[in-house]
Amino acid sequence: MNKPELLAPAGNLEKLKIALIYGADAVYVGGKNFSLRAFGGNFTDDELKIAVDFAHSMNKKIYVAVNIFAHNDDIEELKNFLKFLDDIRVDAVLISDLGVFSLAKELTNLEIHISTQANITNYKTVEMWKNLGASRVVLARELTHDEIVNIKKNSAIELEMFIHGAMCISYSGRCYLSHYLTGRDGNQGECTHSCRWKYNLVEEKRPGEYFEVSEDDRGSYVMNSKDLCLLPCLDKVIESGVSSLKIEGRMKSVHYVASVVKVYRQAIDDLMQNAELRIKNEWIEELDKVAHRPYTTGFFESDGSSTEIYDTSKAKQSSTFLGLVKDFDPLTKIATVEQRGKMEIDQQIEILQPHDKNFSQVLTEMTDEEGNFINSAPHAQQIVKIKFLQDVEKWSLIRTLKQK
Ligand code: SF4
């Protein structure tokens, strides 16, 4: 059984570094245009060059999403962008539009992965994309385990599938809801997640009178999907022979990227050593610490019919990100930390490390950059020095032990 690639989202350079340092084999990013995350903190051309160099310096891969449905006006700029990506040697581009695909084939030597936006749900479609020259396809989320196994059996190119993250209630993002309600088009990377809003019915002659829309007595978030989490069935995912396991979330936080990547890194590595291994509670607990909606295995283990949430559209998390360890002096056990949330003396903190075990302690000693003792660090991205009781890895995340 081949070990699958762990593929993580990276909305900016910091998240890219975190994803790779915490164990992703590859990352996917978007340029400033042409990727379906217009608000995902996408990369400028200069940042893309830095990102490619960083990923390659770690012998890891970087894929760039060019997965909009292009209009005529996009074509000239797309040509330049694709040539640029070829020049800086990204490892693949992620495409869903056949016209963009043909441009990439004509103008570049780039490897092409077909985005989940192309809604690939059967092996004949995989075969067609292979014949056209794609090296990998990302399967639609709307597939059961048996269907994925069957597609794998009948396919001769790499398959990639989502294992974790938010889901669309419509078919893998082919949705006009956001554009219809807000003018912001999900198919151009501007989705406002209108499917998660609370809806009421208003009769035209009774303005201001809201009638609740409800499927049953649980409520009315009829289009509000749970988040995908295939950790509980990761053994079956790996057995299916898919080449790459993808985490959703280019717009998610540094905390989300670090935590989710670390859990799946450990789980994949441990399951490859021992296929009988049971999923550890500590992994499930870790995934609960970052912002998420209730988890579901989606279509993988069923027909996806129990994937809606009825009580709230808000994500929950049991821990808050407080600071990023930029440096550590093992002699003094003092770390240089960039503040990301309000830190206070006597606060119980937990440290999430890229490789070593998490640990917790009370925050007992903190100074500002000049060495003055301080009781709290309220300023955004303030640099502080914190005394630890043990060694801390650079790039560790400091967070609350429990949500306040
Ligand atoms: S509105 Fe919801 S279903 Fe539609 S594209 Fe956005 S997230 Fe997906």
Look at residues 279, 296, 313 and tell me which one is the last residue of a structural domain.
296
Q: Which amino acid is located at 80 in the chain?
A: N
Residue 201: inside a domain, yes or no? Answer: no
Does the CB atom of residue 195 touch ligand 1 within 6 A?
yes
Is residue 193 predicted with pLDDT exceeding 60? yes
Q: Which of 193, 248, 251 to mutate to test the pocket of ligand 1 (most atoms within 8 A of CB)?
A: 193
Mean pLDDT of the 160-182 span: 84
The pLDDT, as a whole number, for residue 404 is: 43
Q: Is 237 exposed, middle or buried (0-12, 13-18, 19+ CB in 10 A)?
A: buried
Which residues are CB-neighbours of 114 under 8 A, at least 6 positions away?
Answer: 94, 95, 96, 101, 120, 129, 134, 136, 137, 138
Judge if 138 and 253 occupy the same domain.
Answer: yes
CB-ligand 1 contact for 194 (6 Å cutoff):
yes
Note whether residue 202 is domain-resident. Answer: no
Q: Are 167 and 241 part of one and the same domain? A: yes
Q: Which of 169, 188, 313 most suits a substitution to test ligand 1, by most atoms within 8 Å of the C-beta? A: 169
Tell me the C-alpha distance between 7 and 299, whole Å: 20
* CB of 188 shorter than 6 A to ligand 1: no
Per-residue pLDDT tens digits for 390-402 = 999 999 999 998 6
> Which of 3-7, 90-94, 149-153, 367-371 shows the lowest mean pLDDT across its residues?
367-371
Residue 219 has pLDDT above 60, yes or no: no
The predicted pLDDT at position 312 comes to 66
Looking at residue 391, its pLDDT comes to: 96
**199 part of a folded domain:** no
Q: Are 132 and 120 in contact (CB under 8 A)?
A: no
Determine the average pLDDT of the residues in 175-183: 84
Please check whether residues 239 and 366 belong to one and the same domain: no
Among 391, 240, 404, residue whose Cα is nearest residue 322: 404
Residue with tokens 């440096």: 327
* CATH code of the domain in which 394 resides: 2.40.30.10
Is 307 among the domain residues?
Answer: no
Q: Exposed, middle or buried by CB within 10 Å (0-12, 13-18, 19+), for 399? A: buried
What pLDDT was estimated at residue 191? 79
Beta carbon of 313 within 6 Å of any ligand 1 atom: no
Q: Are 161 and 257 contained in the same domain?
A: yes
Distance, in Å, from the CA atom of 199 to the CA atom of 177, rounded to the nearest integer, reads 13
Atom of ligand 1 nearest to the CA of 174: 5
Ligand 1, pocket-test mutation among 191, 225, 307, most atoms within 8 A of CB: 191
Pocket flag, ligand 1, residue 165 (CB < 6 Å):
no
User: What range does the domain containing 145 cover?
Assistant: 5-171+224-296
- What are the percentages of helix, strand and coil residues in the chain, rounded to 5? 30, 25, 45
225 compared with 295, residue with greater pLDDT: 295
* Atom 5 in ligand 1: residue holding the nearest Cα: 173
- Same structural domain, 32 and 113: yes
When mean pLDDT is compared across 14-18, 167-171, 217-221, 348-352, the lowest value belongs to 217-221
| 266 lies in the same domain as 354 | no
Of the candidates 296, 329, 348, which is a domain's last residue? 296
Tell me the C-alpha distance between 391 and 370, whole Å.
22
Q: How sure is the predictor about 221, in pLDDT bands with cuts at 50, 70 and 90?
A: low
Spatial distance between the Cα atoms of 347 and 326, rounded to a whole number of angstroms: 20
Burial class (CB in 10 A: 0-12, 13-18, 19+), 183: exposed
How far does residue 192's CA lie from ligand 1's centre (Å)? 7
* Maximum alpha-carbon separation in the chain: 74
Instruction: Identify which has the larger pLDDT, 190 or 243.
Output: 243
Identify the CATH number of the domain in which residue 231 sits.
Answer: 3.20.20.60
Task: Answer yes or no: is 376 within a domain.
Answer: yes
Residue 168: DSSP 8-state: -
Asked if residue 282 is part of any domain, the answer here is yes
Does pLDDT of 212 surpass 80?
no
Q: Residue 331: its pLDDT value, please?
A: 95
User: Is the confidence at residue 195, as pLDDT, over 90?
Assistant: no
Task: Tell me which of 167, 177, 293, 313 to substitute to probe ligand 1's pocket, judged by most ligand atoms within 8 Å of the beta carbon.
Answer: 177
Domain match, 16 and 92 both: yes
CB distance 251 to ligand 1 below 6 Å: no
Reported as a single tens digit per residue, the pLDDT across 278-327 is 888 899 999 999 988 889 998 998 766 666 666 666 777 788 999 999 99
Q: Which atom of ligand 1 is nearest to the CA of 195?
A: 2
Indicate the pLDDT class of residue 250, thresholds 50, 70 and 90. confident
- Here the contacts of 273-276 (C-beta below 8 Å, separation 24 or greater) are 275/1, 275/235, 275/239
Average pLDDT over residues 128-141: 97
| Spatial separation of the C-alpha atoms in residues 52 and 65, rounded to whole Å | 14
Beta carbons within 8 Å of 189's beta carbon, 6+ residues apart: 30, 35, 36, 37, 38, 39, 40, 68
Tell me the C-alpha distance between 17 and 350, whole Å.
21
Q: Does one domain contain both 255 and 110?
A: yes
Residues 234 and 145 occupy one common structural domain: yes
Cα distance between residue 52 and residue 48, in whole Å: 6
Residue 178 is assigned to a structural domain of this protein: no
Nearest atom within ligand 1 for CA of residue 176: 4
Ligand 1 neighbourhood includes 168 CB (under 6 angstroms): yes
| Span from the CA of 176 to the centroid of ligand 1 (angstroms) | 8
Same-domain check for residues 111 and 14: yes
| Domain count of the fold of the chain | 2
Which tens digit of pLDDT belongs to each residue from 26-45? 999 988 777 666 555 689 99
Q: Examine residue 213 and state whether it is found in any structural domain, yes or no.
A: no
Asked whether residue 235 falls in the same domain as residue 338, the answer is: no
Mean pLDDT over the full length of the chain: 90
The model's pTM: 0.90
Helices 145-153 and 123-132, interaxial angle, to 10°?
Answer: 40
How confident is the model at residue 197, as a pLDDT?
A: 81
- In this structure, the answer to whether residues 386 and 240 fall within a common structural domain is no
